[in-house]
Every structure is written in C-alpha cells, then in structure tokens.
Structure 1
Amino acid sequence: MDYAKLAQHILKNVGGEKNVISLVHCATRLRFKLADRKKADKSAVENTAGVVSVIESGGQFQVVIGNNVPEVYEEIGKISSLINEDKENTADSKEGENIIGKFVDLISTIFTPLLGVMAGAGILKGLLSLVAKYQWVPVESTTYTILNAIADSLFYFLPMLLAITAARKFKANVFVAVTIAGALIYPSVIDLAAQQTAVTFFGIPIAMVKYTSTVIPIILAVYVMSLFEKFLNKRLHQSVKNFITPAILLLTIVPLTLMIFGPFGVYVGNGIASVMVTVINFNPILAGALFAASWQILVMFGLHWGIVPVMINNIATMQKDPLKPHSAISVFAQAGATLGVMLKTKNKDFKALSGSAAITALFGITEPAVYGVTLRLKKPFIIGVISAAVGGGIAGYAGSAGYAAGPSSILMIPAFYGPNGEGFVGFIIGIIVAFTMAAVLTYVIGFEDISEHKEKKSAKPEKKPVNKVEGVQAEVVYSPVAGEVLELSEIKDRAFSSGALGAGIAIVPREGVILSPFNGTVATAFPTGHAIGIVSDQGAEVLIHIGLDTIQLNGEFFNMKVTQGQPVATGDILVEFDLDAIKKAGFDTTTPIVVTNSIDYEDVLTTDKKEINSRDRLLTII
C-alpha cells in the first residue's frame, strides 16, 4: 500500500491540516478532532482504498484503517505539523463540545499511545505468573528478578508514562510533568507511605498513599500544572521563565498533589473499583453477560474509552480487573462469527476477506471483521453479540479477571492467569464457547450472502427492452474498459473459466479505469476495490473483477469511486486502478465481466471483436 498517497488523500478530505485541531491513533484508527466538520468529506475518505470505515463519535472523526494505521499516521506527520509539533489551532470546534465527547477525546488521547506497550507488558506479566506458578524459573533467582522488572516496569512507572501523554494533551511541559510523576514514586516517598507514620510538609499534614501504578492522581496533577504553567508564562519575563516556571511548578504541584490531588485521585479510584466489585458480586453471571454483549457496541461508537481507565485503575487498586475478561470474550465472539461467514459464503472473494478478518480479530483488531463482515451482514453481528453474552456469563460465574492492561487478543490470554489461577479455566471455557457458538450459529442460521442482490427474484423490476435482437427483448452491457477481448474459457481462473460464476467475457485492460456498463445500482462495492457488483435497471446482475487473485493486494493500487446502493449511469467511473503497478506486483490484469444471474436468461451473447473500446457493445443479454 502507498501509505504516503493514502495519508495525503485522508488529510485533504478531512478539510486539510488547518481543519484539524488534534490527531492521535489507536490500534486501528486515526482519530481526528476537527475544527469544522462540514469541511470534511466523509464519503471521499470512506471510499478510499485502504480505509475500512469512517465513524463519527465522541466529537471525533475516526478513520478506521486496520493494522497499518501507524504507517499512515507517520506519513501524515511527514506532510504536516500535526504530529511532530504541538499544533496550536485557535479555531473553535463546534462538534463534540458536550461533556461525553470531551471525556472520550481526553481519555483516548492520553491512553492510546500506551496500548501497544501495555499489551506487550501484559503478555509478559501473564507468562511470568505461569513461570512462578509452575516454578519453571525459581522466584528467588536473579533471572526471575530481571524478568519481573521487564514485565512490571510499565505498570510500576505508569504515572510517569501518563505524565507524558497527559502533558501533550494539556499542552504542558512534558519534562516538568514527568519530574512531578517521578517525585510521587520516588523511593523515599514510597517508604513514607509504607511506614504509615505521620508525614507533614512545613507543618501541613499529608495523607500518604502509594502512587505506583495509579492513573487518576497524575492526570489531575498535570491538568492543574498546565493551567498554572500558562498563568506563569504570561507573567514572567522571557529571559527567566524557562527556568523559573519549572522551579515554581515543581515546588507547588508536587506538594499539592501529595496533599490534595493524589489522595483524592486514589480515593476516587478505590471508590470506582469498590463499585465495580459490588456490581459484579451482586449477580456475576448477569453482569458478565451484559458487559460482554455491550462491549463491541461501545467500541463501534468509541465509548469504550470511558471504561478503559476504569480497567487500568482496577488493576492498580485491586491488582486485577473483573471487566477485562468480558471485553476479550466479545472480541472472540466476533472472530467466531466472521469464521462462520467464511465457511458459509459462496463468494470466493468474500470468503478470503472473511478469513483474513477472522484471523486479524483473534489478534485483537476487530474493525475489519465488524465493519467489513459481521455488521455488514447484520445477522452474524447479532449472533456474535448473543454468543459474547453466553461466554461472558460463564466467565462471570467463574470469577475470571484480567491481571494486566492491554488490548484483548489471543496473545493476551496469559494476562488472565492470576497468582493462583483462579477463574482462568472459566475464562478459557468462556472464549471457546463464545467463539464456537458464534461460528456454528452463523453457519447454521445463515445470512444474505454478499453476492446476492437484496431484492428477491420476484421483486425484481420488470425487464424492459433496451435493444431488439431478432424480435426478442434484449439488454446491452457496454464495455466498462478498453482492451483485448478474451473468452472466459481462455483465462486462468477456474471459477470464471468454467462459467460457475455466470456467463460473460474477459478483457485485458489497457487503461486503469472501470466505467459503469449500464444504468443501474451498485450492489457490492468490495472494500479492497478489486471487484464490484452492479445491477441494471432491467435486473441484470454483473460482476466486474479487476485482475486475477488481486484480492491479495488488499486494496493497494485500487480506488473505489462509488458506494454500495449508489445509483450509476452508463459511463460513470466505478473504480480507478494503477494498471502498471498491478503488473509490476506480478498479477494477471485480465478482467472477467460476468452476468452472475445469467441462469435467469435465455442466452448471453458476446462481442466478436478482439479489441474493444470502453462504452462499445460488449454483451447482449437475451
């Protein structure tokens, strides 16, 4: 994929750099906060090859890309100042100004940069629990000490990492913020908390608490620091403010945090954890089922960010989180439903797409599975939600918990193994049940396959004559592209050459554009851009497949110009593609054009030309 080109296209269609107040990315999405939503062309972004979907939620314009989002984010940084500099944009955003939108934006910006390393450390922490449990490495050994430091350092020094991301969000001095966090977890300060003796600061009593692994105190401290820093910088002379401001901030914010913000944050964190435990203990089966069922819906709207800090806080305060297993089970349920689609669908391309999306979902990236497969087909998504509820109920009954933060995936399974392994077996059973149930029910109940037009055959519009061929009704399909004409039997793809997908013809294109062959409606616009299905106003269903096995390009070199359900006229541009680049990548560019419902007709007559121009008569359907 040409990440630079994709980055340019996205930035242009969100209204340009000047329209972007802030930009962060998570595991799969670019999260834009825009000054003026009206300047963004959602349709243009959504129809870009390489973009899975666009979601507007929580005051953010979220561009779902998938696993390649870091590369696209980096390219945006190269062509703009959105990443490499603290961008000051004085434009007022009229969107997302409600408190929920602000909260979602705040949390996602602060926590998103840490998710990758959290996942890695969480995996190691879970594996280390198994190491200790089965004494694979003696816990008294120096080897274990070093391994424990590697696995636990992120969580121990979490306030310092959050100080960095919070300072960037609040536009405060990052180094001062990290220094404040360092003071909170300084060894002698930690010893004061452990000794439980009276602590004062210039005679003012301080209620000492332990700040390692905490979340809320440092965010509050950095926020207050950012306000005070702006106040000082406006009033101090520029010749001294670079060193006087940090000195004043350290002397004031650290004691204030120890006296006020810190204890308040810790008490709030403990209170949240206590409430969660009470809710879970009231009815663990029901609570687990409801949370697992709702998780993927929350993710769709970006509202899960309101729960992420709660999970991290639970681990900090209780050393475990009762919510995390249910979010993981929801991920496995959608993966299972996507697998069921792969096994059931008759569409070769959609089968390949579903298979890759199912694998990606198992590794914690559910957007391709949800937006590209299950939600698109509706029934599999609902089945996934129901299956997640069943698995969540099992995990709730078992008292399962997560012991390290990070995105849920098959690699994170060790992070659910606690010191004594309690609830771990129930969690494993829960994900197996959710995954298997979703896959089986999707296969058995079925869905409207992607290759089938939504209207029933009986509901098709009456065929109207477009041309006359020897006195019978006929419909003309014009050539969507110029090039060399081949019989289907001559091409190397057996599914097409055998006629199994329908009668038709093939063209070796000499240009990189596909036009609409008639007046009709887009039935299927494949996300990868390599194929498109359209239905004529007279009812003919035509599939245009650009090249052979080009689905493997995963959208690279293709640019779908239309969306599913969009009306099109003869000659409208459907897809643009880089013909030379596809050839250089080693792919056959032969493009089959088949009438997938040709069984409904008496015959499909093909042109006798060996070379054809776009808009020439190609097929005549009798």
Structure 2
Amino acid sequence: MHQDPRATATAILPLVGGPANVVSAAHCVTRLRLGLADRSRVREAALRALPGVLGIVEDGTSYQIVLGPGVVGRVAEEFDTLLAPAGGAAELAARGAELRAANRRRNATPLKTGLRRVADVFVPLIPALIGCGILAGVGGLLANLGWLPGFTPALTVLSSAFMALIAVFVGHNTAKEFGGTPVLGGAVAAVVVYPGVAKVSAFGAALAPGQGGVLGALAAALLGTYVEKWCRARLPGTLDVLLTPTLTVLVPGLVTLYVLMYAAGAAATALGTAASWLLATTGAVAGLLLGGLFLPLVMLGLHQALIPLHATLIEQRGHTVLLPLLAMAGAGQVGAAAAVYVRLRHDTSLRTTIRSALPAGLLGIGEPLIYGVSLPLGRPFLTACVGGAAGGAFVGLFAMLGTEVGATAIGPSGWALFPLLAGGSGPAATAAVYAGGLLTGYVAGFAATYWFGRLEPDRPAAPPPP
C-alpha cells in the first residue's frame, strides 16, 4: 500500500523538531534534505520507524531522510506546504542559506564542498535524463525489431531533444548554484550548442556545435557567474542594469568560443577514449576497482560528483559504460544483507530492518542497507564491497571480450537499470551480462559476509549449572 505523501510529511515534521527547527528543505532523487537549527531535537528512533522512511543520513551539511525515488518529490512538496505558515518561503530560504553556509564552513573540506556543489548542478537534471533514456531504449528496441517504423522517429526526437540542449540547463543550474543569475548562465552556456559556432575557428579549426558538451557549459556558466559578481560589485546601479548582463554574456562567451569549447571538447574526447580503452584492455581490473570502491563514495555522499562524467559519456556515445560497473556495488550490498539475515536468525530487529530495506536495495537504493545494516556492523560493509568488486570484475571482463554494457541514463540502478541498458552486442547479450554481474555480486557479497563478516550466530542459552 502506498503511503500518502501528506501523511508522511505531517508525520516527519514533529519528529525533526517542528517547523521552527527546520531552516531549509530540499530534495534529490531519493532523499529529503533538511537544514536543522538544533539536531538534538530530532527523535531519530521514531523517525526511522515511520512507514516509508528507508534510512537516515547525516553528511555535515544537511539531515537527509531517505524516502526513495518518486516518493521523495511528492513528500517534499507537502513538506514545503506545511512549512509555509512558519514564516514564509523567503524567510525559510534565507535561514536555510545561512545554516548551510555555517555547516559547510564547520564540517566540509574544500574538495568535498566543490564536489557537492557540482553534483547539485546535475542532480535536478536526473528525472529528464531517466525519462529520455527510457524513451531512447524503447525507440532503439523498436528500431531493431523493425516495429512501428513510422513512430520510432518521434521517439527519437523526444529522447534526443533534451540532450541536444542539456548545455543550456547545465548553465542555468550552474549560475543558480554558484550565486549568479540563472538565465545569464543559460545564455552563456547556450553558445556551446548554437549551430552558428560552426562559422568560428579556434586554434586553426572550425568549431562544431556541442563541442565541449556539459563540461564546456559548466565552465562557461561558472566563468559567467564570476564576471557577473565582479561587475555588480563595481558598477553603479544605473550602469549595472545595462552593462552587467552585457559583459556577463560577452566576456565569458568569447572565452567559451576561443578557449573553453576547444579545451572542454578535448577533455571530453579524452574521457570517452580513456573509458573505452580502460574497459577494452583492463576491463576486469577496472570493474573490480569501480565496483569495490563505490559504496564508500555513496556513504560519503560523493557518488553524485560522478554525474558530469556520466552525462559526458551519454552525450558522446549515447550511453555511459561506468554506471553498470558502479551498480554492482549495490548487488554486493544486497548479498551482504542476505547473509546477515541468515546468520543472525534471532535478531528480530535487524531482520525486520533488512526485510524493509531489501526491496529498495534490489532497485539500487543502497542507503537503507548501508546505514541500517552493514555500516553499523562494521565488517559486513567491507564484505559488501567485495561483492561489488566481484560483480564489477564480471561485467568488466565481458567488456574486454567485446560485450560492453552501458546505460542510456543515470539515476536508476539494480533491477531498475534493465530498461536503460544499451550496448553494441544487442539487448539480449547486454542484459545477460548485466544480470550475470548482479548475480555474481549477490553471491560474492553473501559468501564473503557469511564466512568473513564476523557475525556471531545466536545460540540458545546454556542450561544453568546443577
């Protein structure tokens, strides 16, 4: 039975200290991210016990409640409605910005802060990437089968239009995240995809529309934000209205045309070449490392910093070859949780947690199992990484043998990734390799945890001495 979003939001609010304790509220694909004035006011045990709450994550900048994809957006909307009487959206946003800035100064390293801010540029784009990716997969399947030939061009248009203009959205979000005017960020980044750039030459060669892709758009909008801030700090109000937007488009736009598009294009090409070479020559080793190290990135909340790499590969090749390898980490986590469930037969509380979190884990949402099961137990977190490494090595090995597995979009994982799979060997072979990787991850994660997870099975109490 589906939980009512309004009921979920209403139940969460008092458990996090009420409206007065919430100074910011936002959400990503799976988590409701709250800025709290006083975290000691949170009743975490009751919060974890709420139906629909899959886990709790604290990363130093926000208090994150894992609700799952699809659900979190509706709950966040209701949560915002409940917060509105507590002072209005403007006041909430101002207090939230102040809290986030303070938390970041106290707890975040410059590297982690930078990675999270870049991730925040791309996270809002994930729903569109998923939708367009599924349409691309359906269109490709219909084309391969020769079905509905008059309809597949329409699917191609629908799935490709967003990717053709993704640079504009990246520019808009970059300016918004880094304190500029979003529409100016979009205007500067639009240079990257404008067909007229073919008439401009840089470094002795004509530019191509889209050259540099999302990396070029990110760099262009970031430069535009700094130019805009510089102008606004120095120009009087009468000139600011006219000159700031003009200089914000002109200066970064010229730098984008004559420097950034060429440089970002070279970087994007190098990334695609490196990914292909890596899988073709060292696929098993690369898969082992990527699958084995991804859970620690998820634990730290840094996995979203890989989104620009995925987006670049999708833009170049139509799919990212990294995501299926990284998805094997979730399979290792599921196998480890299953082993804990089997070994600790009499730990009713833990087994209940596993039963509630396992369906989400099978669909690639790993946080509930990480924070509710493997990480608190210690060693099972490491053995889950072993399972992920084994699954990644399996998929990487087949990439070396010529069966490359890619994903046409980012966001889903686990079983939910099947509709988004793509590869040069056909849908059946691609799905078979991915399924084999998941099975390998499950089995390896289970075996490593069962035998080496330092889990002490419950034993009946010894009879009292005579």
**What TM bracket, shorter-length normalisation?**
0.7 to 0.9
SS at 2:47 equivalent: coil
Question: In the alignment, residue 385 of structure 1 is paired with which amino acid?
Answer: C
Q: 1:12 to 1:101 in 2, by over 3 A?
A: farther
Q: 1:349 to 1:149 in 2, by over 3 A?
A: farther
CA contact (8 A) 1:30 1:65 kept: yes
The alpha carbon displacement at 1:393 in A equals 1.0
- Quote the Cα distance in structure 2 between the aligned partners of 1:3 and 1:109: 23
Matching residue of 1:491: none
Matching residue of 2:42: 44
TM-score, normalised via structure 2 length: 0.79
Residue 411 (structure 1) aligned to one of 416, 424, 447: 416
Report Cα offsets for 1:142-161 as digits up to 9, x if no partner: x1111112222332221122
Question: In the alignment, residue 60 of structure 1 is paired with which amino acid?
Answer: T
The alpha carbon displacement at 1:437 in A equals 4.2
SS at 1:296 equivalent: helix
Q: 1:240 to 1:12 in 2, by over 3 A?
A: farther
The alpha carbon displacement at 1:5 in A equals 5.2
Matching residue of 2:3: none
Matching residue of 1:149: 157
The alpha carbon displacement at 1:217 in A equals 0.8
- Quote the Cα distance in structure 2 between the aligned partners of 1:213 and 1:601: 75
- Quote the Cα distance in structure 1 between the aligned partners of 2:97 and 2:449: 49
CA contact (8 A) 1:60 1:105 kept: no
SS at 1:53 equivalent: strand
Q: 1:448 to 1:14 in 2, by over 3 A?
A: farther
Q: 1:324 to 1:314 in 2, by over 3 A?
A: same
Q: 1:340 to 1:127 in 2, by over 3 A?
A: farther
Matching residue of 1:544: none
The alpha carbon displacement at 1:394 in A equals 1.1
SS at 1:60 equivalent: coil
- Quote the Cα distance in structure 2 between the aligned partners of 1:114 and 1:84: 24
- Quote the Cα distance in structure 1 between the aligned partners of 2:382 and 2:250: 55
CA contact (8 A) 1:157 1:213 kept: no
Matching residue of 1:160: 168
Matching residue of 1:390: 390
SS at 2:105 equivalent: coil
Which structure 2 residues correspond to residues 209-220 of structure 1 after superposition, within 5 A?
Answer: 209-211=208-210, 214-220=213-219
Q: 1:48 to 1:69 in 2, by over 3 A?
A: farther
Matching residue of 1:70: 73
Q: 1:161 to 1:99 in 2, by over 3 A?
A: same
SS at 2:106 equivalent: coil
Unaligned runs of 5+ in 2: 1-6
Higher strand share: 1
Matching residue of 2:445: 438
Identity over aligned residues, as a percent? 22
Q: 1:15 to 1:261 in 2, by over 3 A?
A: farther
- Quote the Cα distance in structure 1 between the aligned partners of 2:228 and 2:219: 14
SS at 1:211 equivalent: coil
The alpha carbon displacement at 1:441 in A equals 6.2
The alpha carbon displacement at 1:341 in A equals 4.3
Which aligned runs of 4 or more in structure 1 are off by greater than 6 angstroms?
11-15, 443-447, 599-602
Relative contact order (C-alpha < 8 Å, sep 6+): which is higher? 2
The alpha carbon displacement at 1:76 in A equals 5.4
The alpha carbon displacement at 1:212 in A equals 7.0
CA contact (8 A) 1:206 1:258 kept: no
SS at 1:171 equivalent: coil
Question: In the alignment, residue 317 of structure 1 is paired with which amino acid?
Answer: Q
CA contact (8 A) 1:6 1:72 kept: no
The alpha carbon displacement at 1:288 in A equals 0.7
Unaligned runs of 5+ in 1: 193-197, 458-596, 603-622
Matching residue of 1:274: 273
Which structure 2 residues correspond to residues 336-351 of structure 1 after superposition, within 5 A?
Answer: 336-342=335-341, 345-347=345-347, 350-351=350-351
Matching residue of 2:406: 402
Matching residue of 1:175: 183
Residue 30 (structure 2) aligned to one of 1, 18, 28: 28
2:132 equivalent to 1:132: no
Question: In the alignment, residue 359 of structure 2 is paired with which amino acid?
Answer: I
CA contact (8 A) 1:28 1:65 kept: yes
- 351-360 or 291-300, larger mean C-alpha shift: 351-360
Matching residue of 2:376: 376
Matching residue of 1:112: 123
Q: How many residues align?
A: 436
Matching residue of 2:110: 99
Question: In the alignment, residue 142 of structure 2 is paired with which amino acid?
Answer: V
- Quote the Cα distance in structure 2 between the aligned partners of 1:14 and 1:437: 47
Question: In the alignment, residue 193 of structure 2 is paired with which amino acid?
Answer: I
Matching residue of 1:554: none
Question: In the alignment, residue 426 of structure 1 is paired with which amino acid?
Answer: V
Question: In the alignment, residue 391 of structure 1 is paired with which amino acid?
Answer: G
CA contact (8 A) 1:315 1:405 kept: yes
Matching residue of 2:263: 264
- Quote the Cα distance in structure 2 between the aligned partners of 1:223 and 1:260: 14
The alpha carbon displacement at 1:398 in A equals 0.8
| Larger Rg belongs to | 1
- Quote the Cα distance in structure 1 between the aligned partners of 2:183 and 2:133: 26
Q: 1:247 to 1:385 in 2, by over 3 A?
A: same
Question: In the alignment, residue 411 of structure 1 is paired with which amino acid?
Answer: A
The alpha carbon displacement at 1:300 in A equals 0.5
Report Cα offsets for 1:398-422 as digits up to 9, x if no partner: 1133242312232222322224427
Matching residue of 2:220: 221
The alpha carbon displacement at 1:223 in A equals 1.1
2:48 equivalent to 1:6: no
- Quote the Cα distance in structure 2 between the aligned partners of 1:164 and 1:394: 39
CA contact (8 A) 2:192 2:213 kept: no
Question: In the alignment, residue 28 of structure 1 is paired with which amino acid?
Answer: T
Which structure 2 residues correspond to residues 228-243 of structure 1 after superposition, within 5 A?
Answer: 228-238=227-237, 241-242=240-241
Question: In the alignment, residue 151 of structure 1 is paired with which amino acid?
Answer: S
SS at 1:94 equivalent: helix
CA contact (8 A) 1:391 1:431 kept: yes
Q: 1:168 to 1:47 in 2, by over 3 A?
A: farther
- Quote the Cα distance in structure 1 between the aligned partners of 2:439 and 2:253: 48
CA contact (8 A) 1:340 1:440 kept: yes
Q: 1:358 to 1:136 in 2, by over 3 A?
A: farther
- Quote the Cα distance in structure 2 between the aligned partners of 1:292 and 1:167: 33
- Quote the Cα distance in structure 2 between the aligned partners of 1:321 and 1:299: 19
The alpha carbon displacement at 1:299 in A equals 0.6
Question: In the alignment, residue 155 of structure 2 is paired with which amino acid?
Answer: L
Question: In the alignment, residue 269 of structure 1 is paired with which amino acid?
Answer: A
